[in-house]
Amino acid sequence: MKKRLLTVLAFCFLLIGSAFSVNAETQPDKIPNQEDIGEHTHSIIDESLLKSLQEKGYTKKEIYIASHIAKFSNQKVEEILAFYKKNDSSWEKTAQHYGVDLNKIKKNHHHMDKFLEKNKDIVLKNVSEFSGKTAQELQGYLDKEIPLRFLVSGSAMAKAANKDLDEIIKMKEQGKSFHEIKKELNIEKEQIHTEMRKLVDKIQEDIKKGE
């Protein structure tokens, strides 16, 4: 049961992206830039609620972080945001009030990376079939320090844009963010998520077969 839960958790974070990335600041109140969050807010909160909160003056960045705190504290996003605004717009104070450790939220993203690494052979096999790249080509990307997580999400983006994965990798190596690449290729997040879910479902299926 624990392994199955980790599977679900890991791929949920894969689908919403890593706002709290390994490059994020270690201080609790140092939150990633808006471009790091990109369009992932839509994936973890109802579209109508997102629009409603934006109309009240909250940014996607604030809504995204509040959504994570709400998830870990079993509270409503609206309540988290209201407290946040009443307390000097401090995420540290807000998290402490609801008994949430922001660093633990970051660690959940690291767990996803560890999970992918643990199942690296299955992940690479499926990415190879999905992207049309050989195992040697994928290993070459990894040798150039392209994260395994990006090979999965990048493959989905390449498929959605009808591009070769190598083009996506080159854009990343140029320093472009996931959001910038998506915008340059003129593809919608729904297209990427559709392709990513196909790949993720197949990876999950193969992992379960080996349990």
Mean pLDDT, rounded, for 92-105 = 82
Q: 54-77 as b/e, with b when 16 or more CB fall inside 10 Å?
A: eeeebebbbbbbbbbbbbbbeeeb
Task: Round to whole Å and give the CA distance between 211 and 207.
Answer: 7
Which one has a higher pLDDT value, 165 or 44? 165
Q: Is the pLDDT of residue 29 over 50?
A: no
Sign, CA dihedral 103-106-108-111, equals negative
Mean pLDDT, rounded, for 11-35 = 38
Among 39, 29, 87, smallest CA distance to 63 is for: 39
Task: Round to whole Å and give the CA distance between 160 and 154.
Answer: 10
**For the chain, what percent of residues have pLDDT higher than 90?**
31
Query: Contact 19/36 with Cβ under 8 angstroms?
Result: yes
Q: What is the pLDDT of residues 52-67, one digit of tens each?
A: 998 999 988 788 888 8
pLDDT band at 40 (very low <50, low <70, confident <90, very high): very low
Q: Is 138 exposed, middle or buried (0-12, 13-18, 19+ CB in 10 A)?
A: buried
Q: Is the pLDDT of residue 30 over 90?
A: no
User: In this predicted structure, what is the pLDDT of residue 211?
Assistant: 67
User: In this predicted structure, what is the pLDDT of residue 137?
Assistant: 96
Q: What are phi and psi of 59, to 5 degrees?
A: -85, 165
Q: Is 96 exposed, middle or buried (0-12, 13-18, 19+ CB in 10 A)?
A: middle
For the beta carbon of residue 202, count every other beta carbon within 10 angstroms.
16
207: its two tokens: 């992992």
User: In this predicted structure, what is the pLDDT of residue 104?
Assistant: 66
**Domain ranges (residues) in the chain:** 2-106, 120-209
Task: Round to whole Å and give the CA distance between 34 and 125.
Answer: 33
Of 29-38, 103-112, 165-174, least confident by mean pLDDT is 29-38
151: its two tokens: 């090979």
User: In this predicted structure, what is the pLDDT of residue 141?
Assistant: 94
Neighbouring residues of 203: CB distance < 8 A, sequence distance ≥ 6: 11, 119, 122, 123, 126, 152
Q: What is the pLDDT of residues 129-170, one digit of tens each?
A: 999 999 999 999 999 989 888 898 899 999 999 999 999 999
SS3 84: helix
